[in-house]
Amino acid sequence: MFIRKAALVSLPVAVALLAAGCGGGGGSTASSDNSDGTVTIYETEPQNPLTPGNINDAGGIKALDELWAGLVGYDPDTAKPYNLMADSITSSDAKVYDIKIKQGWKFHDGTTVKAKNFVDAWNYAAYGPNAQLNADFFSQIQGFSDVHPEDAKAQPTAKTMSGLKVLGDYEFQVTLSAPFSVFPTKIGYEGFDPMPDSFFTDPAGFAKKPIGNGPMKFVSQTANQDIKLTRFDGYQGQDAVHFKDLDLKIYSDLDTAYSDLQSGQLDFMEFMPPAALVGDKYKTDLQGRNLDAGLIDIDAVALPSYVPGYDNLDLRRAISLAIDRDTIIKQVLNNAYTPATSFFSAHLDGNTPNSCTYCKFDPTQAKALFAKSGFTGKLTIASNSDGGHKEAMTAICNSIAKTLGVPCDFVPQASFGQFRSMITSHQATGMVRSDWGADYPSIEDFLNPIFKTGASSNDAVYSNPKVDALLTQADSTADKDAAVKLYQQAEKLVEADLPKIPLWNEKGTGGYSSRLSAAKLSWKRQPDVSSFRLAPTS
């Protein structure tokens, strides 16, 4: 079903290519379609060695997405998951999953991708002493607590998770500790990629020359300068690339990268520098080669429940109604965002527009609710001040202060690290900026990590037993549509309590150079390299 959809999507691309006289899509070796050319894209230095278990930064993921192919891929236009390496993922109870993988896929070193490559990779990433950044992604698998005790000092009692079982060369079984219906979507995350046997004998050496199973293979990495990849001709997936070499060039300055993009020295950027966003300048600069991502994210401010006075529903509602989102987006945020009207991203299946009834600007009602709340004192919003956050948060404060007649201050934090440690140690003294970008495209990812009691990113320290119960019920509902309905009910309960105030969703703008004739930007703000087509050279 997913494959058919993807085929429909690729149709316009093919038409466009024919119209441009390129002589059709992949497989052609004629030199006129530039299929042996090099593409250079914007990159930031990866924060860890290039292995799926240990990469969670955007720069690293960009390289991983080409080097590896997971069980599940996401459609570049709709963000819907489709089976990439998986042949089928089946479950009757959302607890035990039977995963069959496609045969004939190879790693770049020529070895066949088998079920055990997945199982071994997951066990390695989850094992506590291996200290992998993505270990928590495996926490739902049965036996995780044995290999990864919650206390970092405790010794694990097992080396492998009991919930993973190899059933054959091309089939394995995953048993979760509790039912989780979104698991087939979640395993598209890069941390779930398979690892070749050579990785396990020498992980450190492997990281210097990673071997994956994706559309491109590793050529070289020069720390702090660039990463070079080249097309893997044995690749079987539908997201193969249509050029030969990919050069991921590391930039420390967006403006510099942007000037290179205009001159054709750089071919793709998933960010636009703020100066180019002013008055939509980038659209004229790039002559229509700009891209909208439809990012799956939400920006919000959390009202930590432990802050005195914030335990007042009328106050929280009054604050939300006092924020003039439209004007702030227009005047401060260069129109790079759309006002949030729900707790999800507008691009997600299951999102109901306007489900957040208090996410609008209504000064009269705001004033009335604020008077009713009886709040006295000062409001504050804390955030790290870099990356344009200072301007946005100050604008929100001004909007609140103007509407409610209450003093509101922006509290700057020196760095993101300092800001986050203030939140995780529950030492905020007012509202805090609390943004969220999805790990995988599902409304579940906007609820469980944020609103469940004790969840990893529950910045508001929100706890509602009814919400917890509904989320657990939704997780264990195998039927997708029924699960979505339950998640939506949970959103309604959250909306009634308003522990976090949704602000806006970022659009995500990027662009490509005149050397390319087609390119796409994905929902997680990454280039969709398989959609890149080099423009014919005249």
Partner 1 sequence: MGRYVLRRLLQLIPVFLGTTFIIYTLVWAIPVDPFAGKCGQRPCPPAYVAAMRAKFNLDDNLFVQYVKYLGRLFTGDFGQTFSGTDVSTLIANAYPITVRLAVVALVIEALVGMTAGVLTGLRKNGFADNLVLVATLMLISLPVFVTGYILRGLFGTPRGTSFVDLIVPGIVLGSLSMAYVSRLTRTSIAENRRADFVRTAIAKGLPTSRVVGVHLLRNSVIPVITFLGTDLGALMGGAIVTEGVFNIRGIGGLVFTNIQQQQGVVVTGVVTLLVLVYLVMSLVVDLLYAVLDPRIRYE
Residues at the site binding partner 1, with contacts judged by CB under 8 A: 45-49, 56, 128-129, 131-133, 135-136, 148, 150-153, 204, 207, 222-225, 250-253, 256-257, 259-260, 263, 265, 414-421, 424, 434-437, 449, 456-457, 459
Neighbours of 102 (CB within 10 A): 16
Cα–Cα dist 278/288, whole Å: 16
Which of 175, 189, 183 is closest to 64 using CA atoms?
Answer: 189
- Least distance from C-beta 460 to partner 1, angstroms? 12
Cα–Cα dist 498/379, whole Å: 17
- Least distance from C-beta 255 to partner 1, angstroms? 8
- Least distance from C-beta 8 to partner 1, angstroms? 34
Q: Which is nearer to partner 1, 300 or 474 (CB)?
A: 300
- Least distance from C-beta 82 to partner 1, angstroms? 26
Cα–Cα dist 38/32, whole Å: 14
- Cα atoms found within 13 Å of the Cα of residue 470, Cβ hemisphere only: 20
Which of 105, 88, 64 is closest to 193 using CA atoms?
Answer: 64
- Least distance from C-beta 242 to partner 1, angstroms? 25
Cα–Cα dist 311/463, whole Å: 12
Q: Which is nearer to partner 1, 198 or 352 (CB)?
A: 198
- Least distance from C-beta 87 to partner 1, angstroms? 31
Helix (H, G, I), strand (E, B) or coil at 85: coil
Q: Which is nearer to partner 1, 292 or 386 (CB)?
A: 386
- Least distance from C-beta 404 to partner 1, angstroms? 28
Q: Which is nearer to partner 1, 85 or 461 (CB)?
A: 461
Cα–Cα dist 415/420, whole Å: 9
Q: Which is nearer to partner 1, 226 or 362 (CB)?
A: 226
Q: Which is nearer to partner 1, 147 or 187 (CB)?
A: 147
Cα–Cα dist 395/332, whole Å: 7
Q: Which is nearer to partner 1, 297 or 324 (CB)?
A: 297
- Residue 106 DSSP class: B
b/e string for 164-185 if b means 16 or more Cβ within 10 A?
A: bbbeeebbbbbbbbebbbbbbb
- Least distance from C-beta 105 to partner 1, angstroms? 28
Cα–Cα dist 511/514, whole Å: 10
Give the largest Cα separation in the chain, rounded.
Answer: 74
Cα–Cα dist 118/50, whole Å: 17
302: tokens are 């959390």
Asked whether the beta carbons of 310 and 304 are under 8 A apart, the reply is yes
- Least distance from C-beta 261 to partner 1, angstroms? 11
Residue with tokens 């045969």: 103
Q: Which is nearer to partner 1, 32 or 256 (CB)?
A: 256
Phi, psi of 344 (to 5 degrees): -115, 180
Q: Which is nearer to partner 1, 28 or 427 (CB)?
A: 427
